[in-house]
Structure 1
């Protein structure tokens, strides 16, 4: 049900959930979980949303970890909706995260919503290079063989909008993994300026489906 992608010398799999699986390294990458978004909105006087997004996101992550059994997990930034949210998760969510992290090499990449280290176990980095691939939050146009997030790309197929991966020979941009996250259309200039002609959009859902990137 996944879509196979090639980035440099590596073969990766875009999963229907929005996670990226690198079997050669047994690494699972996810981006933009935005845990604690409903609490952050309530704290700042914004829209009141049902506070279920953390549970929904952790359930999805737990399922992907159970399916792939990764040795390492890379969270590509904006894992929390702000730095206060990282310290305000309910105890059961913190224990859930701790169970998922146990025995794994877990890396938190800094994002624009959660800059700097947070008070959680794991390794905290601005970016991470493993072999030929570099993982960071926001794409660097000068970088090749890069995996990033940040933009929450989405595209439409048969009249239905879905979060999507964007992939070309230079980079893969992951969709937002968390519940309650919006999206940026793939035809937005911010994305068309980053992605090469011939790029693919891999839509998430029951099955990962690849289409030419809508421009």
Structure 2
């Protein structure tokens, strides 16, 4: 698997090809915007009937990251569930799988706009987590917030490489903050050129694609 290190407020972090973030020194794995139960939530609210497999696929992807890295701490950076009822509606097999992954490690559920209340799955539910030089929260705060790690926007970037147009989920960062891509299997994305993202980061911000090549690309080169 391709991965690439970066530094944020003195912490050396690895941007994983999956969209996960690994902090080796702290043995901390961070994932954002799982949106578990999204197909169930859409159907429950009268929307399209979609194949209900995205939860299992997302949990499987998370399980592979945990197996590969053996984290002591897992931080789920908000919008882990598509709404609070989606947590209650988890299939028993998926609930058991999640609880097995949680066993024996510190597990932090960060509050998101889709899942603002405590979840009945164990672990610790926080509005944000301050860990050493880093602050983990769901939505980036404007202003100078050195060491901020957030999600929410599901950033994606489009650019032309070797004459071919590529669109990929991506990490967005500047000297102060890092915005993670969505980890969930059934999630859309917001262009990094959107005012919502551009208004949060410095003019010299860069992106890291979750597809190769994983190196810093000036945000200005991306649509």
Normalising by the smaller structure, the TM-score range is over 0.9
Provide the residue aligned with 2:11 in structure 1. 10
TM-score by length of 1: 0.97
- Contact 1:15–1:208 (CA<8 Å) still a contact in 2? no
- What are the within-5 Å matches in structure 2 for residues 1-215 of structure 1? 1-142=2-143, 143-158=145-160, 159-205=165-211, 208-213=214-219, 214=222
Shift of 1:157: 3.3
- Contact 1:74–1:109 (CA<8 Å) still a contact in 2? yes
- SS of the aligned residue for 2:13 comes to strand
- Contact 1:154–1:185 (CA<8 Å) still a contact in 2? yes
Q: Structure 1 residues 72 and 49, CA, compared in 2 at 3 Å: closer, same or farther? A: same
Shift of 1:160: 2.2
**Separation in 2 of the partners of 1:65 and 1:193?**
34
**Separation in 1 of the partners of 2:158 and 2:212?**
15
- Contact 1:31–1:177 (CA<8 Å) still a contact in 2? yes
- SS of the aligned residue for 1:60 comes to helix
Q: Structure 1 residues 207 and 88, CA, compared in 2 at 3 Å: closer, same or farther? A: farther
Shift of 1:195: 1.0
Let me know the Cα RMSD of the aligned residues: 1.2
**Separation in 2 of the partners of 1:131 and 1:87?**
33
**Separation in 2 of the partners of 1:195 and 1:109?**
22
**Separation in 2 of the partners of 1:107 and 1:127?**
9
- SS of the aligned residue for 1:3 comes to strand
- SS of the aligned residue for 1:55 comes to helix
**Could you report, residue by residue, the CA deviation over 1:80-119 in whole angstroms, capped at 9, with x for unpaired residues?**
0000001110000001001111111000000000001111
**Separation in 2 of the partners of 1:16 and 1:209?**
11
**Separation in 2 of the partners of 1:94 and 1:141?**
36
**Could you report, residue by residue, the CA deviation over 1:133-176 in whole angstroms, capped at 9, with x for unpaired residues?**
00000001132210000000000133121111101110000000
Count of paired positions: 215
**Separation in 2 of the partners of 1:89 and 1:206?**
34
Shift of 1:207: 6.0
Unaligned 5+ segments in structure 2 are none
